[in-house]
């Protein structure tokens, strides 16, 4: 069992938020692999944020736990790096100015994906992740270190389409000030 997810975030923002921003602010690609015989899997997660010219990529191992009623848990642990497209960002000086890419941080992530089936068409997700930087980079430690939360409510329109609403917040951002989004997903 495998799944590839490609996300484009930020467009149509002026239609559903109050800030009037209608530009694409980030993209994300995830690849999930799962062995149905033992419940072990892996995830590759690649993100790029256009607003701050910062990206990340990580590789995680996942182990599905036995389903407990309507609850399914998928704990994971992985390693990742952050990447920026300029050597001058956030105080990293380079003698040639803004050239190439820099890797300002590496990190470890531990967490779980969780799913609660409400009906055969409605489910809830709560995905807490703890991230800790592995190197001494104060800016990246302030940005990454701590708990990151994601909650979602999903509705299955048919076998290939879903509508999902998400909330993301972290150790520095209260839920009410978090990132909220509405997604329409189509499986190809």
* Angle at 151 (CA atoms; ends 146, 133), nearest 5 degrees: 20
Over the chain, what is the mean pLDDT? 85
Q: What is the pLDDT of residue 13?
A: 56
Task: Please choose, from the candidates 83, 82, 66, the residue with its C-alpha nearest in 3D space to the C-alpha of residue 74.
Answer: 66
> According to the model, what pLDDT value does residue 173 have?
87
User: How many CB atoms are closer than 10 A to CB 126?
Assistant: 14
CA separation, residue 44 to residues 61, 90, 108, 120, 121 (Å): 9, 26, 14, 28, 27
What string of pLDDT tens digits covers the 188 residues of the chain? 567 888 887 776 555 555 555 678 889 999 999 898 899 999 999 999 888 888 999 999 999 999 999 999 999 999 999 998 865 554 555 554 556 778 888 999 999 999 999 999 999 999 999 999 998 777 777 778 899 999 999 999 999 999 999 999 998 888 888 888 888 888 88
- The reported pLDDT for the residue numbered 86 is 66
- Sorted by where each starts, the structural domains of the chain and their CATH numbers stand as 2-186 (2.40.160.40)
- The per-residue pLDDT for 77 is 98
Tell whether pTM > 0.85.
no
Beta strands in 35-145 (DSSP E): 40-49, 54-63, 71-84, 102-117, 122-126, 129-133
What would the two tokens of residue 33 be? 């692999």
Cα–Cα distances in angstroms (integers) from residue 100 to residues 45, 82, 85, 88, 173, in the given order:
22, 14, 6, 10, 31
The single-letter DSSP state of residue 134 is S
Q: What is the pLDDT of residue 185?
A: 84
The pLDDT value recorded for residue 22 is 61
Q: Report pLDDT for 118.
A: 97
């Amino acid at each position: 069992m495998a799944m590839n997810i490609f996300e484009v975030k930020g467009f149509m923002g002026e239609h559903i938020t109050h800030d009037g921003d209608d530009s694409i602010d980030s993209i994300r690609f995830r690849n999930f692999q799962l062995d149905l015989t033992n419940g072990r899997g892996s995830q590759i997660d690649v993100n790029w944020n256009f607003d701050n010219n910062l990206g990340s990529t990580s590789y995680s191992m996942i182990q599905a736990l036995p389903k407990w009623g309507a609850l399914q848990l998928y704990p994971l642990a992985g390693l990742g790096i952050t990447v920026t497209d300029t050597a001058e960002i956030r105080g990293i000086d380079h003698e040639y100015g803004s050239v190439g890419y820099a890797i300002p941080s590496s990190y470890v992530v531990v967490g779980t994906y969780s799913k609660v089936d409400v009906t055969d068409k409605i489910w809830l997700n709560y995905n807490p992740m703890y991230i800790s930087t592995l190197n001494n980079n104060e800016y990246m430690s302030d940005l990454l270190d701590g708990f990151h939360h994601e909650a979602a409510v999903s509705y299955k329109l048919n076998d290939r389409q879903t509508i999902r609403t998400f909330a993301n917040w972290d150790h520095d951002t209260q839920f009410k000030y978090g990132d909220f989004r509405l997604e329409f997903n189509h499986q190809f």
